[in-house]
């Protein structure tokens, strides 16, 4: 499902104009992205959490040149679904 399809679905279910729904969804994503960039986790009870995960520094190999490279420690965004959400997906 694409973002446009989500906007259409919400608009049809709620009767709110598509432009308003679009702006709401864009604002939601901006808030979540901004929080993650700042290192803050975002929690939605019953749905899941957008969390910042720290990856440690590690040594990797460039197999084409047969050399070692160091990948520095860095943060990555991660989504962790809620247990109730996972159960609903498992049971269809």
Q: What mean pLDDT value characterizes the chain?
A: 95
Which CATH number is 41-92's, of 4.10.520.10, 3.40.50.300, 3.40.50.1820, 3.10.350.10? Answer: 4.10.520.10
Helix (H, G, I), strand (E, B) or coil at 49: strand
pLDDT score of 11: 96
Residue 79 main-chain phi, psi, to 5 deg: -110, 130
92 has a pLDDT exceeding 90? no
pLDDT score of 81: 97
Q: pTM to 2 decimals?
A: 0.77
End-to-end CA, the chain: 17
Least confident of 33-37, 62-66, 82-86: 62-66
Identify the H or E element spanning 21: helix 18-37
């Amino acid at each position: 499902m694409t973002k446009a399809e989500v906007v259409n679905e919400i608009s049809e279910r709620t009767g709110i104009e598509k432009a308003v729904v679009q702006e709401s969804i864009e604002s939601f994503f901006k808030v979540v992205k901004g929080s993650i960039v700042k290192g803050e986790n975002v929690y939605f009870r019953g749905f899941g959490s957008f969390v910042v995960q720290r990856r440690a520094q590690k040594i990797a190999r460039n197999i084409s040149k047969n050399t070692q490279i160091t990948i520095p420690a860095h943060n990555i965004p991660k989504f962790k679904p809620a247990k109730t959400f996972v159960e609903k997906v498992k049971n269809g």
